[in-house]
Amino acid sequence: MNTLHHAKVALLAALVTAGCSATHHATDVREADDADRITVGTVQKEIRIGMSAAEVAAVLGSPNIVTTEEQRQETWIYDKISSDVTYSRSSGSVVGLIFGGSGAGAGVGSTSAGSTSSSQRTLTVIIKFDTNNEVRDFSYHTSRF
């Protein structure tokens, strides 16, 4: 075999090895910081009738909305929204070898594909206090779409 043929075979082997790669990137973006995340489990486990407002604030942090009723009883509302965005991408190269009567050559092409998906979660927690500033009632609603 001649040197030119060996060089073409070596080039083809290098291109095939390098061209058969694929990458996958996934990114998870959250608008709410994990440290500030209030979950249904936290509400179910930690919030109890008779808790003081200070104890609720220690568990859940500051509410988004505070209202008062006719008898000056406070209602605290925690309204949280979390967005998750995932992006994945894959790419690779296609290598072809062309043999012809007048010579030989290698052809290289590349492919790329990707997808994005997103979802949102909402959690609304409503805590009603009595005249002693203790929890008299609480409710919550969660959704994911």
Closest C-alpha to 8, from 110, 109, 92, 103: 103
**pLDDT at position 87:** 82
- Total number of domains constituting the chain: 1
User: In whole angstroms, what is the distance from residue 38 CA to residue 56 CA?
Assistant: 12
**pLDDT at position 3:** 57
Q: For every one of its 145 residues, what pLDDT tens digit does the chain have, with 9 covering 90 and above?
A: 555 555 555 554 554 444 444 444 444 444 444 445 789 999 999 999 999 999 999 999 999 999 999 889 999 999 999 888 888 877 666 555 555 555 555 556 666 678 888 899 999 999 999 999 999 999 999 999 8
**pLDDT at position 2:** 58
Whole-model pTM? 0.57
**pLDDT at position 114:** 82
**pLDDT at position 99:** 53
State the residue range of the domain holding 87. 3-144
- Could you give phi then psi for residue 50, rounded to 5 degrees? 95, -10
Residue 1 CB neighbour total at 10 angstroms: 6
